[in-house]
Amino acid sequence: MRAVTWQGKEKMEVTTVSDPIIQEPTDMIIQITATAICGSDLHLYHHGSAVLEKDYVVGHEPMGIVVETGKEVKKVKKGDRVVIPFNISCGHCHFCTHDMESQCDNSNPNPDVDYGGLFGFGKVNGNYPGGQAEYLRVPFADTSSFVVPESNLPDEKVLFLSDIVPTAWWSVENSQVKPGDTVIVLGSGPVGLLAQKFAKMKGAERVIAVDCIAHRIEHSAKTEGVETFNFMEADKPGKALKELTNGGADVVIDCVGMDGVESKTSEKLLNTLSPQMGTIAPLKTAIECVKKFGTVQMTGVYLSPAAFFPLNELFSRNVVLKSGQAPVVHLMPKLYDMISNDVFDPTEIITHVLPLEKASEAYQMFDEKADHNIKTILKP
């Protein structure tokens, strides 16, 4: 089959790989109809050598049609239309039965780590080749899938249930945004834009979107109707945001992560001796602009230790830091209902729908935020 594979730093290419097969009686194989590129794939694009081998199939936001099921698959049937969550969830461990599927005890056989498995993130993360491909092997098929009810909803409406819609929802719930709050969302990428929408939906009085890319800032203002702040225009963005919110926001949600950009570049010099990958500038900004006793939600991904992390700032201002991979599986049915009842429209962020064969160009465009790109869907 054809699949997007990691070929080295900043090289994602469509190559021919062997078709996936059923390995366990609880597996299924799906034929992919749509699959998205995520900010998390950009971390692999830049730092893939940390977790991937050459030729590894990437992608964790797929959906499609079930073509084959293992003997012990009960709920899902051949022909079903399914969205596959990025968390691989066994469905019966403590974490899977308590809405914490991203920490499933049984989906990551790597003995060196203690967290759940993920599609498209190499052996470290359980060795599950990803979903930017024509076919995908889905382990724990009954629980690592959402069967789309019969409807006229196109793939574009339901695909983001695989990750960014529930991730943004969870980010807002996990950080306990409440009516009247001031919320700063760092990043107006796909995750940030949805977090801005959901923060407003939860009753936040003031939502401030922070980015430096003109078309994304504009999207925040026009489509999400929130205040905007271009961090490149400030010498000290954290300080400026704290002033703008009269002492800081109740909640700051970092939807940027390690591949964010810094307004002033000093961190690289400081970190030459540490194992840090990428930057922690967004997280530092978040800690600076949150209110005393406020909450910083770290949704953006950071994949390495960081030597100059401002632990003292957290401590001295009683800041709560929450983080992690979003547990998305239990949120899919509820968010599907919201989409099918037109409570919100996840297609607003789609700027490009391209054939899978164009993946290499699509990655470059997403990384450069070129051609007004926000979210790209690939179709095999």
Ligand X SMILES: NC(=O)c1ccc[n+]([C@@H]2O[C@H](COP(=O)([O-])OP(=O)(O)OC[C@H]3O[C@@H](n4cnc5c(N)ncnc54)[C@H](O)[C@@H]3O)[C@@H](O)[C@H]2O)c1
Q: Dig out the tokens for 8 from the structure.
A: 């080295």
- Give the C-alpha distances (Å, rounded to integers) separating 180 from 183, 210, 249, 307, 343: 9, 20, 11, 36, 21
Query: Rule CB under 6 A: which of 72-91 touch ligand X?
Result: none
Contact indicator for 320, 248 with CB cutoff of 8 Å: no
- For residues 224 and 247, give the distance between their C-alpha atoms in angstroms, rounded to a whole number: 24
Instruction: Figure out which of the listed residues 212, 253, 290, 306 binds ligand X, where binding follows CB under 6 A.
Output: 212
Shortest distance, CB of residue 322 to ligand X, whole angstroms? 11
Q: Which is nearer to ligand X, 336 or 363 (CB)?
A: 363
Query: Rule CB under 6 A: which of 274-293 touch ligand X?
Result: 281-282, 285
Task: Give me the 93-132 binding string for Zn ion, x by CB under 5 A, dash otherwise.
Answer: x--x-------x-x--------------------------
Piece of 74-82, 118-126, 249-257, 268-276 that binds ligand X (CB under 6 A): 249-257
Instruction: Figure out which of the listed residues 34, 66, 90, 185 binds Zn ion, where binding follows CB under 5 A.
Output: 90
Q: What is the DSSP letter of 20?
A: P
- Nearest to residue 362, comparing CAs of 97, 127, 12, 83? 12
Shortest distance, CB of residue 101 to Zn ion, whole angstroms? 7
Piece of 44-52, 83-91, 128-136, 231-239 that binds Zn ion (CB under 5 A): 83-91
Q: What is the DSSP letter of 156?
A: H
Q: Which is nearer to ligand X, 71 or 334 (CB)?
A: 334
- For residues 113 and 124, give the distance between their C-alpha atoms in angstroms, rounded to a whole number: 8
Q: Which is nearer to Zn ion, 93 or 147 (CB)?
A: 93
Piece of 2-10, 141-149, 180-188, 270-278 that binds ligand X (CB under 6 A): 180-188
How would you classify residue 375: left for phi > 0, otherwise alpha for psi between -120 and 50, otherwise beta? beta
Contact between 210 and ligand X by CB under 6 A: the answer reads: yes
Going by their DSSP bridges, the two strands 62-69 and 81-83 should be labelled as antiparallel
Helix 359-368 to helix 39-47 angle (10° resolution) is 100
Contact between 350 and ligand X by CB under 6 A: the answer reads: no
Contact between 331 and Zn ion by CB under 5 A: the answer reads: no
- For residues 16 and 336, give the distance between their C-alpha atoms in angstroms, rounded to a whole number: 34
Q: Which does 136 bind (CB under 5 to 8 A by kind): ligand X, Zn ion, none?
A: none
User: CB burial class (10 A; 0-12, 13-18, 19+) of residue 130?
Assistant: buried
Q: Dig out the tokens for 380 from the structure.
A: 């095999």
Q: Dig out the tokens for 3 from the structure.
A: 């699949």
- For residues 113 and 199, give the distance between their C-alpha atoms in angstroms, rounded to a whole number: 33
Shortest distance, CB of residue 208 to ligand X, whole angstroms? 11
Q: Which residue has the tokens 């919110």?
A: 245
Instruction: Figure out which of the listed residues 28, 38, 57, 185 binds Zn ion, where binding follows CB under 5 A.
Output: 38
The separation between the first and the last C-alpha atoms of the chain, rounded to the nearest angstrom, is 10
Instruction: Figure out which of the listed residues 66, 184, 213, 377 binds ligand X, where binding follows CB under 6 A.
Output: 213
Q: Which is nearer to ligand X, 91 or 190 (CB)?
A: 190
How many residues belong to the site for ligand X (CB under 6 A)?
A: 34
Q: Point out which residues bind Zn ion (CB under 5 A).
A: 38, 40, 90, 93, 96, 104, 106, 163
Q: Point out which residues bind ligand X (CB under 6 A).
A: 38-40, 42-43, 163-164, 167, 186-192, 210-213, 216, 231, 255-257, 260-261, 281-282, 285, 299-301, 325-326
